[in-house]
């Protein structure tokens, strides 16, 4: 760890990502899904973990597919030499269709209108477009309603320049409502036979996200789409631990300033925190400009020397203040804001509880000015 840290001349605040834990989580998913394939979700810069580094490792360890949100993310992967199939999950803007075909990216079609547009443009390029049909089974985001899916299949099967590569839907409440999840599962699974009759072959069906993989026992279909669990996170600590997931990401910094503050003095913007007795306050060079949530003002914690200390006063754009009481600390001493230090840990899920945020928001929110260092 010291090696990566000292190798670069950089600011003291950085994100450390342990790719060995990615391998651990990926093989956990593999073991839990039988024969199903894995579409590893790497959108939004691999949930803040770095699109390219994460995708390269996932390709190396045998992911069947990568899933991204938008065209640009798929293009970045192809430019970097990623060869495995890539599904773009988001909606498609008509004028971008040519690029999907040029870069061999699989599209999501969520309406008859868009699949005709894909067909028309693919025809002009003398290519066949690989398309996954998106069915809405109850989330009401994008997709053709499951009750009209049969008609959508018939329409799609008649298009000369379309190669249907999959049929999928997305779960709305897999972390807390298994009954509705089962309803969504059945609505999609019930379309299998119809699709085989219409397309005259078996097409891969996929539905489960991380919460679905962890909680839903009744079937996995032909492929699963984990994101969160690959990064070793979950919607709460209990489910993360039950699934044996290991977080990849730590957020680290160091003490850059130490001062003694007298009882009654206020700290940071608004002087919202008053120290109750003479104490030592240290400053850490991280703030909401790095994605450290402002909502951790007066309620976050950091680890120094394996011990928890409170964030006092408001989080600034570039700095936070921490009360270390009477403990001895020194300039340059390591500080952990997310991750483990000795026996103590601050998890992303803990930060979510304090800030009423989603785990996705916390890691995706870590801005580009925080360097990412990779281990293993």
Ligand X SMILES: Cc1ncc(COP(=O)(O)O)c(C=O)c1O
* Binding-site ranges for ligand X (CB under 6 A): 41, 89, 170, 209-211, 225-228
- Minimum distance, C-beta of residue 156 to ligand X, in the bound complex (Å): 19
Nearer to ligand X, 121 or 134 (CB): 134
- Minimum distance, C-beta of residue 150 to ligand X, in the bound complex (Å): 22
Q: Which residue is catalytic, options 14, 37, 43, 65?
A: 43
- Minimum distance, C-beta of residue 148 to ligand X, in the bound complex (Å): 20
Nearer to ligand X, 162 or 211 (CB): 211
- Closest residue to ligand X using C-beta atoms: 227
- Minimum distance, C-beta of residue 89 to ligand X, in the bound complex (Å): 4
CA distance 232 to 230: 5
Radius of gyration of the chain (CA): 24
- Minimum distance, C-beta of residue 34 to ligand X, in the bound complex (Å): 18
Nearer to ligand X, 93 or 125 (CB): 93
Q: Is 43 a catalytic residue?
A: yes
Nearer to ligand X, 130 or 252 (CB): 130
Nearer to ligand X, 71 or 311 (CB): 71
- Minimum distance, C-beta of residue 277 to ligand X, in the bound complex (Å): 45
Nearer to ligand X, 89 or 114 (CB): 89
Alpha-carbon separation of residue 272 from 201, 268, 325 (angstroms): 65, 7, 18
Q: Which residue is catalytic, options 60, 99, 202, 269?
A: 269
Q: Is 309 a catalytic residue?
A: no
Alpha-carbon separation of residue 17 from 94, 172, 354, 358, 363 (angstroms): 37, 29, 23, 20, 11
Q: Which residues are catalytic?
A: 43, 269
């Amino acid at each position: 760890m010291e090696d990566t840290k000292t190798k670069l001349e950089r600011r003291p605040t950085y994100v450390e990502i342990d790719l060995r834990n990615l391998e651990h989580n990926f093989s956990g998913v593999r073991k839990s899904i039988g024969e199903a394939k894995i579409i590893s979700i790497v959108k939004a810069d691999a949930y803040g973990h770095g699109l390219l580094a994460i995708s390269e490792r996932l390709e190396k360890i045998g992911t069947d597919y990568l899933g991204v949100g938008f065209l640009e993310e798929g293009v970045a992967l192809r430019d970097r030499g990623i060869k495995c199939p890539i599904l773009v999950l988001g909606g498609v803007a008509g004028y971008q269709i040519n690029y999907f075909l040029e870069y061999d990216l699989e599209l999501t079609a969520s309406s008859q209108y868009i699949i005709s547009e894909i067909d028309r443009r693919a025809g002009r390029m003398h290519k066949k477009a690989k398309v996954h049909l998106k069915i809405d089974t109850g989330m009401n985001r994008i997709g053709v309603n499951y009750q009209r899916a049969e008609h959508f299949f018939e329409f799609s099967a008649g298009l000369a320049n379309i190669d249907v590569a999959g049929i999928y839907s997305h779960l709305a409440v897999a972390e807390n409502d298994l009954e509705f999840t089962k309803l969504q599962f059945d609505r999609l699974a019930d379309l299998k036979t119809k699709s085989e009759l219409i397309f005259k072959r078996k097409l891969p069906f996929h539905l489960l996200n991380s919460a679905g993989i962890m909680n839903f026992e009744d079937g996995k279909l032909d492929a699963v789409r984990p994101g969160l669990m690959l990064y070793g996170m979950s919607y709460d600590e209990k489910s993360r631990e039950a699934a044996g997931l290991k977080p990849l990401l730590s957020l680290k910094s160091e003490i850059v300033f130490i001062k003694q503050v007298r009882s009654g003095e206020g700290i940071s913007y608004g002087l919202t925190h008053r120290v109750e007795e003479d104490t030592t306050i240290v400053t850490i060079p991280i703030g909401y400009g790095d994605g450290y949530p402002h909502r951790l003002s007066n309620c976050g914690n950091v680890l120094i020397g394996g011990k928890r200390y409170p964030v006092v006063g408001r989080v600034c754009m570039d700095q936070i203040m921490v009360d270390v009481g009477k403990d001895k600390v020194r300039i340059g001493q390591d500080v952990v804001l997310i991750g483990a230090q000795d026996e103590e840990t601050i998890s992303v899920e803990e930060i979510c509880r304090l800030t009423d945020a989603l785990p996705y928001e916390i890691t995706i929110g870590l801005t580009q000015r925080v360097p990412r260092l990779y281990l293993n």
